[in-house]
Structure 1
Amino acid sequence: MMYYGSFGGMHLIWWFVWMIMLFWIFATPYDIPGQRRRKDTPLNRLQKRFAAGEITTEEYQEKKKILEMDLAN
């Protein structure tokens, strides 16, 4: 039996449901546990180390300056 008037056998509502599901799967935020992860940049790692107290303010400023010069080149 051919369904010529109902969008390839699926009603219009089901097409919307599938489109929403696909959008939700591929557009989920990266910070949800168990999902895709963003790679940390060196500057992000440096900021985390500074926030955790692993390095001093002077070390942070020196390394930040070096990283920013690398990004500029």
Structure 2
Amino acid sequence: MQRLNLELDAQLFELLERSAQANNLSLEEECLRRLGAGVRHSRYVQALVAELRADEKQRRDSEQVA
């Protein structure tokens, strides 16, 4: 099983937590639901994924230069 660690601000965490409760899901299940294929993505999760991708690209670019 792959593991994904996310750093979330308090507001986003609270929104995810409330959504999980409303959907009778665990926080992990709610995150997976939002990240799953064919599911309308949360704009917060989309922004987080975009930021993670940009960080990874920047890390790779800096490793190539070094």
- Report the TM-score range of the alignment, normalised by the length of the smaller protein: 0.3 to 0.5
- State the structure with more CA Rg: 1
Q: Which is helix-richer, 1 or 2? A: 2
TM-score normalised to structure 1 length:
0.31
TM-score normalised to structure 2 length:
0.34
